C-alpha cells in the first residue's frame, strides 16, 4: 500500500483538497511523536517491567540523572538530569505527565550532580552541578516551581566529573560541597564566603579521575568524627577516603587493570555489613563487603559487555531479602542481576534503550508497588523509568493493572 495519491487526481483537485485529502497527510498526523509533557508515554520493557519516557531530546546526551525533592510542594520527587549542552532539566510529575523546568546554560557538558541542604542562607535543599568548564553551580528553589542558578566556585583548567554534598569535613562549621575533577583533584566549597558566597579550596591531588563516589558516613564537627567516602577512579581503583580533623587519608578496597566507572550501595547496608557494587570498563560488576574496619572481601558477580556506565542497587523483587543490582551501559541494555538462595548470581535483560547508556539510579517514584524504580539516561538523549507492575510486592492491596483496556 502506498501513501502517494495518483498525480492526475492531485492535479484535478482544488489546492486545499489536494493538501489535506491524501493518505500521506493522515499518516503524518498519526505518526506524531508522543510527548511526555502531554501524556504518559510507554516504552517496551521485558520481564514484567514497565518502561516510561520522561524526556526525549534525540541529539543531546543526558549524562547523569537522579531523583530529588527539589519542589517539596509537589510531593513526588523530581527527576533531574544534566546534559551535553550544559543544561539542568528538572522534571516535575503530574499524573503520569512530566514537565521540564530548565536551569543553567553553559554550552558544554555537565556531569556532576547532587542534592543536599548545604547553604543555611537558602530555604531547603539545593542542587549542585558542574562540568567541563570547571564551574560549580548551586541551583536553588525560588518560589513555586521556580529555581535560581548561582555560581559558587570556579576551577580553571579542571573538569568537574563527580560531586558530593553534606557534612563531609569536621574542620568546617557547616556542610560542604566536594568536587572531584580531571586532572585528578578533590576540591571543597563551603558557604562561609563574604556577601553570601562560598570559599573554595583544593583538598588533595589525586592520581586518577573519580567517576563516581558514595558517602558511607557523614562527619560530626562536634565530636570530630570523620566522614567516610568511597570512590571509583579511571585508574582502576576503588578507594575508601576518610576526611577527619587531621585531613584526608585513603586506603584501597580493590584495584584492577581497567578503569572503574560506577558505584552502588546495597540498601541493607545500614542494618548489616556494608556492601558496595562497582563496575569495570571491561564489562565486569564487582561486589565488595566490609568484614571489619579496613577489611573487605571482593568477588566478581557479572561479566558482560564492555562499557558499563550505570549501576543501581535496590529492592527490585517481591520476595524480601533478595539481593539485586542493575547495570546499564554501551550495550544499550539494562540488565538486572539477582542473587539466588544458593549464592549464585543470575542476569536478566529488562530494557534496551535506542542508544548507549550512561547513568542509572534506584529511586522511589511509584507508591503503587512495593519495590524501587530505576531511572536511566544516556547517549540517546532520553530519560526513562522502569517500574514493577501495579500491586507488585503488595499482595494485600487491591490494584487495577489495566489489562482489559
Beta-carbon contacts of 246 under 8 Å, excluding residues fewer than 6 positions away, are none
From first CA to last CA, the distance across the chain in angstroms is 30
Q: What is the CATH number of the domain that holds 313?
A: 2.130.10.10
Let me know: does 290 contact 273? Beta carbons within 8 Å: yes
Q: Is residue 84 part of a domain?
A: no
State pLDDT tens for residues 358-397: 999 999 999 999 999 999 999 999 999 999 999 999 988 7
Q: Is residue 280 part of a domain?
A: yes
Res 144 pLDDT > 90: no
Sheet of 87-94, strands arranged across: 62-68, 78-83, 87-94, 97-105
C-alpha cell at 117: 541542604
Res 1 pLDDT > 70: no
Q: Is residue 151 part of a domain?
A: no
State pLDDT tens for residues 236-245: 999 999 999 9
Q: Is residue 229 part of a domain?
A: no
State pLDDT tens for residues 78-107: 999 999 999 999 999 999 999 999 999 999
State pLDDT tens for residues 164-214: 999 999 999 889 999 999 999 999 999 998 877 999 999 999 999 999 999
Please tell me the predicted confidence (pLDDT) of residue 404.
Answer: 53
Closest residue by Cα to residue 53 from 403, 62, 314: 62
Q: Is residue 335 part of a domain?
A: yes
Please tell me the predicted confidence (pLDDT) of residue 65.
Answer: 98
Q: Is residue 251 part of a domain?
A: no
Which pTM was predicted? Answer: 0.90
Please tell me the predicted confidence (pLDDT) of residue 268.
Answer: 84
Q: Give 341: exposed, middle or buried? Use CB within 10 Å, 0-12, 13-18, 19+.
A: exposed
Closest residue by Cα to residue 203 from 247, 241, 172, 166: 247
Q: Which domain holds residue 273?
A: 40-58+258-392
State pLDDT tens for residues 361-372: 999 999 999 999
Query: How far is Cα 394 from Cα 402, in angstroms, rounded to an integer?
Result: 17
Query: How far is Cα 36 from Cα 42, in angstroms, rounded to an integer?
Result: 9
C-alpha cell at 200: 573554595
Please tell me the predicted confidence (pLDDT) of residue 399.
Answer: 67
Query: How far is Cα 76 from Cα 271, in angstroms, rounded to an integer?
Result: 26
- State the DSSP string of 183-221: TTEEEEEES-SGGG--EEEEEEE-SS-EEEEEEEE--BT
Q: Is residue 129 part of a domain?
A: no
Top-confidence residue, 19 or 337: 337
Q: Is residue 238 part of a domain?
A: no
Which residue in the block uniquely carries the three cell numbers 531547603? 124
Res 258 pLDDT > 90: yes
Looking at the 3D structure of the chain, how many domains does it have? 1
Query: How far is Cα 358 from Cα 334, in angstroms, rounded to an integer?
Result: 11
Average pLDDT score, the chain: 90
Amino acid at each position: 500500500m502506498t501513501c502517494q495519491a495518483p498525480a492526475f487526481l492531485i492535479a484535478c483537485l482544488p489546492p486545499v483538497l489536494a493538501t489535506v485529502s491524501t493518505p500521506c497527510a493522515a499518516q503524518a498526523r498519526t505518526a506524531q511523536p508522543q510527548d511526555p509533557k502531554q501524556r504518559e508515554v510507554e516504552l517496551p520493557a521485558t520481564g514484567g517491567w514497565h518502561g516510561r519516557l520522561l524526556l526525549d531530546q534525540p541529539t543531546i546526551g543526558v549524562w547523569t540523572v537522579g531523583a530529588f525533592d527539589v519542589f517539596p510542594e509537589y510531593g513526588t520527587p523530581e527527576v533531574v538530569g544534566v546534559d551535553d549542552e550544559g543544561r539542568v532539566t528538572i522534571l516535575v510529575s503530574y499524573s503520569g505527565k512530566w514537565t521540564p523546568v530548565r536551569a543553567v546554560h553553559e554550552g558544554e557538558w555537565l556531569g556532576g550532580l547532587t542534592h543536599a541542604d548545604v547553604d543555611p542562607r537558602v530555604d531547603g535543599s539545593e542542587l549542585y552541578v558542574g562540568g567541563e568548564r570547571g564551574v560549580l553551580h548551586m541551583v536553588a528553589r525560588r518560589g513555586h516551581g521556580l529555581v535560581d542558578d548561582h555560581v559558587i566556585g570556579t576551577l580553571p583548567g579542571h573538569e568537574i566529573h563527580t560531586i558530593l554534598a553534606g557534612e563531609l569535613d569536621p574542620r568546617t562549621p557547616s556542610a560542604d560541597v566536594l568536587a572531584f575533577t580531571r586532572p585528578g583533584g578533590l576540591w571543597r566549597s563551603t558557604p562561609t564566603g563574604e556577601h553570601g558566597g562560598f570559599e573554595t579550596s583544593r583538598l588533595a591531588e589525586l592520581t586518577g579521575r573519580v567517576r563516581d563516589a558514595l558517602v558511607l558516613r557523614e562527619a560530626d564537627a562536634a565530636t570530630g568524627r570523620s566522614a567516610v567516602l568511597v570512590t571509583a577512579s579511571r585508574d582502576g581503583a576503588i578507594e575508601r577516603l576518610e576526611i577527619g580533623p587531621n585531613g584526608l587519608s585513603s586506603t584501597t578496597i580493590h584495584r584492577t587493570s581497567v578503569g572503574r566507572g560506577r558505584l552502588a550501595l546495597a540498601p541493607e547496608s545500614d542494618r548489616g555489613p556494608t556492601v558496595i557494587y562497582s563496575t569495570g570498563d571491561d564489562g565486569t560488576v564487582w561486589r565488595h563487603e566490609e568484614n571489619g574496619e579496613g577489611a573487605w572481601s571482593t568477588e566478581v558477580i557479572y561479566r558482560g559487555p564492555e562499557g558499563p556506565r550505570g549501576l543501581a542497587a535496590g529492592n527490585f523483587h517481591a520476595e524480601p531479602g533478595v539481593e539485586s543490582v542493575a547495570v546499564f551501559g554501551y550495550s544499550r541494555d539494562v540488565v538486572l542481576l539477582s542473587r539466588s538462595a544458593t549464592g549464585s548470581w543470575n542476569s536478566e535483560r529488562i530494557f534496551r534503550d535506542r542508544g548507549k547508556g550512561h547513568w542509572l539510579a534506584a529511586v522511589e517514584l511509584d507508591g503503587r508497588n512495593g519495590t524501587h524504580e530505576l531511572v536511566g539516561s544516556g547517549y540517546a538523549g532520553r530519560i526513562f523509568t522502569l517500574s514493577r507492575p501495579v500491586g507488585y510486592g503488595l499482595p494485600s492491596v487491591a490494584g487495577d493493572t489495566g489489562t482489559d483496556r
